[in-house]
Amino acid sequence: MNEPNTAGGVIASYAFNYTVKFYDYAAVKYPELKPYPADHRHALHQAAIVVATLIQLERQAPTAELRDSVARAFPPSARRRCLAAIQDLSALLLKAPLSPEGIPSYAPLTGADDKHLTGLTGSWLARSILGKEELAQEEKPMAAAMGRSAWTSAVMIVRVLQNKNQR
């Protein structure tokens, strides 16, 4: 992990750790995910957690420096894959095309309903992992669990950052 002691480094590393924990849990509950490469699943889920974290932090204050710090925090071997996933999810949530570099502002989403964002994120995550345009009815509970995982993980990361800032 590059820049591990920065807020961006904390977000990127905690997001990865929460991702691994989710797939340890999901291995039993959602065996249909097992055939998909771990690197692929992890990059997508990590991106979902990062985006959820940045949305929650943007509600408190603008995050331009933090977005740049997160983009620099990914290890070189994963940077392109993770940033591409962040951009893809961001374009969906923001309903706008994005520049090919960097992480966008989430200011337009600060007033959005958490449940709505969680649902969109989970659906994007499941469709991206499974490589599908639409989810089958039986895949929707898995997508919902993925969305909740990303959003809840983001809540935990925001708390970690708040605790670090209070010291």
Model confidence over 117-158: pLDDT tens digits?
999 999 999 999 999 999 999 999 999 999 999 999 999 999
Does the residue 146 lie in any domain?
yes
The identity of residue 71, as a single letter, is A
pTM comes to 0.93
| Model pLDDT, residue 4 | 61
Does the residue 1 lie in any domain?
no
**Is the pLDDT at 166 greater than 70, yes or no?**
no
| Model pLDDT, residue 99 | 74
Q: If you ran DSSP here, which 8-state letter would residue 106 be given?
A: -
The identity of residue 155, as a single letter, is V
Residue 142's Cα: distance from chain center in Å? 16
**Is the pLDDT at 100 greater than 90, yes or no?**
no
Alpha helices in 59-139 (DSSP H): 64-73, 76-94, 114-130
Q: If you ran DSSP here, which 8-state letter would residue 95 be given?
A: T
Residues spanned by the domain of 20:
7-166
Q: How far is CA 61 from CA 54, 65, 109, in A?
A: 10, 11, 13
Residue length, the chain?
167
Does the residue 2 lie in any domain?
no
Q: Which residue has the higher pLDDT, 166 or 98?
A: 98
Does the residue 45 lie in any domain?
yes
From CA 31, how far away is CA 49, in angstroms rounded?
A: 21
Q: Which residues neighbour 110 within 8 Å (Cβ) at sequence distance 6 or greater?
A: 55, 58, 59
Task: Count Cβ neighbours within 10 Å for each residue of 109-147 and write b for 16 or more, e otherwise.
Answer: beeeeeeebbbbbbbbbbbbbbeeeebeeebeebbebbb
The number of distinct structural domains making up the chain is: 1
From CA 89, how far away is CA 125, in angstroms rounded?
A: 8
pLDDT digits (tens, 9 = 90+) for 20-33: 999 998 889 999 89
Helix, strand, coil percent values for the chain (each to nearest 5) = 75, 0, 25
